[in-house]
Structure 1
């Protein structure tokens, strides 16, 4: 969409006549789809878009801004390749084939491109089919360079809506509760607001016109900045999210003895890889993993509303918000995340063979159709982002730097903590601890401390003295 183009949405709004407060709005599926699409945005993309839109005045989302800035500033030599750093700075949307159909898509991230061997016979006779995310980088089993772009089939062509049914209509309250457009739903909202009569309400019909991204609809500055205060320790994690069989990582933490506050961590590349990977998690996935709660304005209301809508009546399908794009999972990943499989379809269209990729192996009943699994070389190469073995310092607000005694002393000096008031401990970081840090990072500029506080007493362990 060019800068000169306008995207226009019509809506009816019910307002409180005395205080000019919006009570709720009636919206169609096109605007509802855009609101829901915010749940598909990777956390790193949200930070990048806010900085792009607001510059130095970008709203602060917990520790995500400093995590992203630290990633950007970290020397590229700390990563296996420049590509791996760019994958984290510009994480792909795992639902890009959905959001590409939106009336307005605020995610300007370039979609993933896929390439296969130019010799089409290879995709019919050699399997698994080798497909690459980069042109002229990998070779086919036949020895040719892979350089022919191949399409990823979009969502069902019979599906008119994106996330919601094209005929659906919704009521959205001022705090982003979204419910089907029924009179009972509207009455419930009014009752919750203590409005029992119609003399204080007024209907208005208007339109929402956008030349710029709709970021403010969800991430309004006043909603985010007021929530950057440090939340107290403690977290509740969704039960289903803690069942992953992840290995633990040993992390040395520096603790202030007088306050028991975690000041910073000294760690190997595995923990850093896991922390950086948080930027690739979709917002909806982060909410799902951490129990659906957040301090990001009212975004959790939108998440809960969408997950409770009927697939038969209101939404096209409930997507897996804990899904990452292909090859984004790190071997050091501790979060219970998934990647979609890829399949290569070839068929005869009357003139020749055609091919496409899909994450679903459902047959399209096409002439001479063949479906093969796909071998997708890992662009990370070593299965991770950060080069190792290496040691790093992670600050309380998740700024990652190459380890340096001088830098660590500078952090302590900036915090006005005397050396006599610090102590080192080793903490085992597993799925529960990682999820707690993730949840704290959404709301607190003290993510490391607030994320680890619930576990410190049972994990306190003095490190072995080195000779």
Structure 2
């Protein structure tokens, strides 16, 4: 079993980790948290195989579970459901060789062409899929796996970064208990204990621990809720379950409007959203409000709002923090995120800073009607090179970068990516993204905790009857979901089990904040 050694400086009197000394292997793992899609996080933290029991993340866990329960017939293709339950990491090439990889059960991107070999010739459909068994335009299945012959040219659009050695340089780092990562130096090591309230060096003790994938999974769970994840894992033994901690109201209250953008200490504005991203037309939904306590019981909506909510599961954590102005309010994640700014000299390339801070969707995961300002990583354009026998019969083939000038142009064809949402072999649009995830002409109910189900008149009546709410206490409202409302709902989904109430309540007239213990 792989393991990584850490040195913990502990305040014995307060039973608290002051800071951790770690090398490249561990810091790479820590930074990889920012690349994980929210759906992956929801799946990992419900795992009981580590020391910390399964936890829930706001309303995301409920959203993830409802996707698992939805019938495949509700989606355009079976691939759509797969994309949500196991969303891809747009930075998988940097994570594939992590020494401790808690997401190792997710397959790396593979490439498939049509089983009909004629489709891969000059007169064929010339499609390429990153999902097995999609339907080609000719009607056959895309199940013939093909491999890139030479990937050294395929990274031309990604600044020529060696992609299998993580994020940071091979040096020593200091990590505070709240996940502030900094390069080690004598100045930092001498001043940090005092800064953390430990004046007496006699109270300090150096402890060496060995970390496996179990502890990394524990760290992910605790970092989402706790300001002291190292202390929780290595000293207190997580006696208090993370999902029972009560978040501070001032930390998680969803504001109706944020007027100030955080600025870094460098020569750029970090949170400079691309205003061209996101749809211009808002989404209209109906919400059922319980007037007595200002709770949104559920929303009635069509496929566009469901697509929007389900897309949360494909958002990488770093991209989410970026859209929320560096304040996602998840435990120690904001500190980890802001640490990347100070680590720029210790990253393996300058471009990695932006890739971590502004993490993008994996290619083909962008929705055409996405409200929020998030884009997808660019694709690697491939050409299929055919190999023939002496009689001109096609034997096999391989992929090479479209900009590879060394190939014989007569034996190759440029390929277009097949849209995962298409069941008839439609090509994916780099400019606009995919058409959506769930089918049109269906109505859905979304509960306060973001559980999504198909709905009908009888299901609505049944839901209300179980709550035993008099009709006089109910009020129907219509709300438009644009960027502002969408960001508010995204933040609420991370920290509240009443995401609709706390995310959309501020936009329904008087401020609505459900008075409850916000559990995770």
Superposed, which structure 2 residues align to 1:52-63 within 5 Å?
52-53=47-48, 58-63=54-59
In 1, the alpha carbon distance for the partners of 2:481 and 2:43 equals 28
Which TM-score applies when normalising by structure 2? 0.75
Gaps (5+ residues) in structure 2? 223-237, 262-270, 386-395, 424-434, 513-520
Superposed displacement of residue 292, structure 1: 1.9
Q: Structure 2 vs 1, CA of residues 183 and 236 (structure 1 numbering), >3 Å: closer, same or farther? A: farther
| Greater mean alpha carbon deviation, residues 443-452 or residues 336-345 | 336-345
Structure-1 residue corresponding to 2:255? 234
Measured after TM superposition, the shift of residue 405 of structure 1 is 3.2
Residues 65-110 of structure 1, C-alpha deviation per residue, up to 9 Å, x if partnerless? 1111111112222112222112211112222222112112111212
Work out whether 1:304 is the aligned partner of 2:338: yes
More displaced 10-residue stretch of structure 1: 397-406 or 428-437: 397-406
Distance apart, 1:235 and its partner CA:
5.6
Aligned to 1:378: 419
Partner of 2:373 in structure 1? Answer: 336
Q: Distance in 1 between matches of 2:413 and 2:178?
A: 46
**Structure 1 Cα separation of the partners of residues 297 and 128 of structure 2:** 45
Residue-by-residue CA offset, 1:171-223 (whole Å, 9 max, x unaligned)? 0011111011122333443233122342322333x242426462111212733
Matched, 1:105 2:139: no
Distance verdict in 2 for CA 1:357–1:48, change over 3 Å: farther
Judge conservation of contact 2:59–2:449 (CA < 8 Å) in 1: yes
Q: Distance in 1 between matches of 2:136 and 2:465?
A: 53
The partner residue of 1:149 within 146, 167, 184 is 146
2 CA distance for matches of 1:384 and 1:369? 38
Confirm whether residue 313 of structure 1 aligns to residue 313 of structure 2: no
Write out aligned runs for 1:268-307 (5 A). 268-307=302-341
Matched, 1:178 2:181: yes
After the TM superposition, which of the residue ranges 57-66 and 185-194 deviates more from structure 2? 185-194
Cα 1:136–1:147, aligned 2, differ >3 Å: closer, same or farther? farther
| Equivalent residue number for residue 115 of structure 1 | 112
**Structure 1 stretch displaced more, 62-71 or 322-331:** 322-331
- Cα deviation 1:344-384 (Å, max 9, x = unaligned): 2689xxxxx995567xx8x7x88559899752110111821
Aligned CA RMSD, in angstroms, stands at 3.7
Partner-residue secondary structure (3-state), 1:22: strand
Paired residues of 1:41 and 1:283 also in contact (CA < 8 A)? yes
State how 1:5-404 maps to structure 2 within 5 Å. 6-53=1-48, 58-107=54-103, 108-116=105-113, 130-135=127-132, 137=134, 147-151=144-148, 153=151, 158=162, 161-165=165-169, 167-204=170-207, 206-210=208-212, 212=214, 214-220=216-222, 222-227=241-246, 231-234=252-255, 240-241=272-273, 243=275, 244-246=277-279, 247-310=281-344, 312-316=345-349, 317-318=352-353, 319=355, 321-339=358-376, 340-344=378-382, 356=399, 367=406, 374-381=415-422, 383-404=435-456
SS at match of 1:254: strand
Displacement of 1:254 after TM fit? Answer: 1.0
Give the TM-score taking structure 1 as reference length: 0.82
Looking at structure 1, the residues matched to 185 and 343 of structure 2 have their Cα atoms a distance apart, in angstroms, of 13
Cα deviation for residue 118 of structure 1 reads: 9.1
Is 2:93–2:164's contact at 8 Å kept on the other side of the alignment? no
Inter-CA distance 236–180: structure 2 relative to 1 (3 Å threshold): farther
Taking the aligned partners of 1:21 and 1:145, their CA distance within structure 2 comes to 55
Aligned residue for 1:71, secondary structure, equals: helix
Q: Would you say how many aligned residue pairs link Structure 1 and Structure 2? A: 444
CA contact (8 A) 1:253 1:262 kept: yes
CA distance in 2, matches of 1:132, 1:177: 40
SS at match of 1:86: helix
Q: Does the 8 Å CA contact 2:100/2:213 hold for their aligned counterparts?
A: no
Q: State the 1:445 CA deviation.
A: 0.3
SS at match of 1:199: helix
Mapped contact 2:146–2:397 kept (Cα < 8 A): no
Secondary structure of the 2:48 match is: helix
